[in-house]
């Protein structure tokens, strides 16, 4: 139960921090240059990943075996790519904003898949 609480908490914190950085990128990109802003996501996401791995072992369901977890992992990869474009690699502010919105939609999809255990989530 504690691992699930850690996982859900870090999901929330990770998303909250992503959306905060996305907002900063739009209104004041210089806020993204602070050392703590660059380090924090790695710490948060490492805890998130570790708790996810422990949970998969505890529930005996695994990506590329169980469809809903496969869907979440693939969506996570897309979220990482879109988030990277939104916060770093987008060549224009317009591209970054679109990538940020796509990231948020992918995140919502992952949450829906996790809650429903349906690989298609709200797309199905």
Predicted TM-score (pTM) of this structure: 0.92
Provide the 10 A C-beta neighbour count for residue 66.
16
In the chain, pLDDT over 70 holds for what percent of residues? 100
Q: In this predicted structure, what is the pLDDT of residue 112?
A: 97
**In angstroms, rounded to a whole number, what is the distance separating the alpha carbons of residues 98 and 88?**
13
3-state secondary structure of 9: helix
Q: In this predicted structure, what is the pLDDT of residue 44?
A: 96
Q: Say how many domains are in the chain.
A: 1
> Token pair of 110, please?
């992952």
Q: How confident is the model at residue 97 (pLDDT cuts 50, 70, 90)?
A: very high
SS (H, E, C) 54-120: HHHHHHCCCCCCCHHHHHHHHHHHHHHHHHHHHHHHCCCHHHHHHHHHHHHHHHHHHHHHHHHCCCC
**In angstroms, rounded to a whole number, what is the distance separating the alpha carbons of residues 16 and 33?**
18
Q: What is the CA radius of gyration of the chain?
A: 15
| Span 44-79, pLDDT tens digits | 999 999 999 999 999 999 999 999 999 999 999 999
124 pLDDT higher than 90: no
Length of the chain: 124
- Which residue range is the domain that position 48 belongs to? 2-123
């Amino acid at each position: 139960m504690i691992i699930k609480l850690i996982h859900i908490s870090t999901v929330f914190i990770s998303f909250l921090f992503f959306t905060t950085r996305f907002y900063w990128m739009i209104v004041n990109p210089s806020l993204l240059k602070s050392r703590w802003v660059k380090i924090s996501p790695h710490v948060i996401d490492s805890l998130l990943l570790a708790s996810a791995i422990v949970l998969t072992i505890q529930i005996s369901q695994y990506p590329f075996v169980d469809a809903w977890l496969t869907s979440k992992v693939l969506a996570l990869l897309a979220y990482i790519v879109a988030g990277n474009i939104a916060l770093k690699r987008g060549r224009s502010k317009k591209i970054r904003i679109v990538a940020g919105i796509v990231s948020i939609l992918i995140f919502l999809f992952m949450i829906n898949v996790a809650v429903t255990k349906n690989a298609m989530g709200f797309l199905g």
